[in-house]
C-alpha cells in the first residue's frame, strides 16, 4: 500500500482526524505500517503517517530493504531535537550525511533525499 487513508480536501494542513484508521482493516496495510498505527495509538500520539523521501517514496520499506541487502543498521536520527534542528543519516552508528527534513501539511515527515540518493549513501557507507 502506498497511499495514506483518505483525508477530506477541506481539512487544514496538519489537521488530525480523531482516528484516520477508524473503520480501516489494518491487515490490509504492511506489517510495519499497522504496527506503527498501534504503537502511536498506545502512546496517545497523533495518527501515524509514514515518512517519505523527497521523491515521495515511503522511507520505511526502503530502509528495511537496505538493511537486508547490505546487512547494516540504517536510521534517520535527530542530532539536535529542537525544532529545525539538524538530522543525520546514520549507518551502523556512524553519521553518513546531514539531511534536512520537514513536516508535510498532511502530518508526515519528508527527508530531503531521493530513494536513489539514500541507496547510494548507504551503499557507499556499507563498502567503507
Counting beta carbons within 10 angstroms of the beta carbon of residue 85, is it exposed (0 to 12), middle (13 to 18) or buried (19 or more)? exposed
53: how many CB neighbours lie within 10 A of its CB? 20
d(CA 63, CA 8): 30
**Cβ–Cβ under 8 Å, residues 60 and 2:** no
pLDDT of residue 97: 94
Report domain extents, the chain.
18-48, 52-127
- Length of the chain, in residues: 128
Write the pLDDT tens digit of every residue in 25-76.
999 999 999 999 999 888 877 889 999 999 999 999 999 999 999 999 999 9
Write the pLDDT tens digit of every residue in 71-124.
999 999 998 777 667 899 999 999 999 999 988 877 889 999 999 999 999 999
Amino acid at each position: 500500500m502506498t497511499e495514506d487513508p483518505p483525508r477530506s480536501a477541506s481539512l487544514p494542513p496538519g489537521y488530525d482526524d480523531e482516528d484516520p484508521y477508524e473503520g480501516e482493516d489494518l491487515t490490509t496495510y504492511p506489517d510495519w505500517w499497522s504496527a506503527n498505527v498501534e504503537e502511536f495509538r498506545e502512546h496517545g500520539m497523533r495518527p501515524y503517517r509514514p515518512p517519505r523521501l523527497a521523491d515521495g517514496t515511503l522511507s520505511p520499506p526502503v530502509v528495511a530493504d537496505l538493511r537486508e541487502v547490505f546487512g547494516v543498521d540504517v536510521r534517520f536520527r535527530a542530532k539536535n531535537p529542537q525544532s529545525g534542528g539538524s538530522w543525520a543519516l546514520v549507518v551502523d552508528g556512524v553519521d553518513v550525511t546531514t539531511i534536512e527534513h520537514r513536516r508535510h501539511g498532511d502530518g508526515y515527515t519528508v527527508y530531503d533525499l531521493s530513494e536513489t540518493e539514500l541507496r547510494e549513501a548507504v551503499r557507499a557507507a556499507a563498502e567503507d
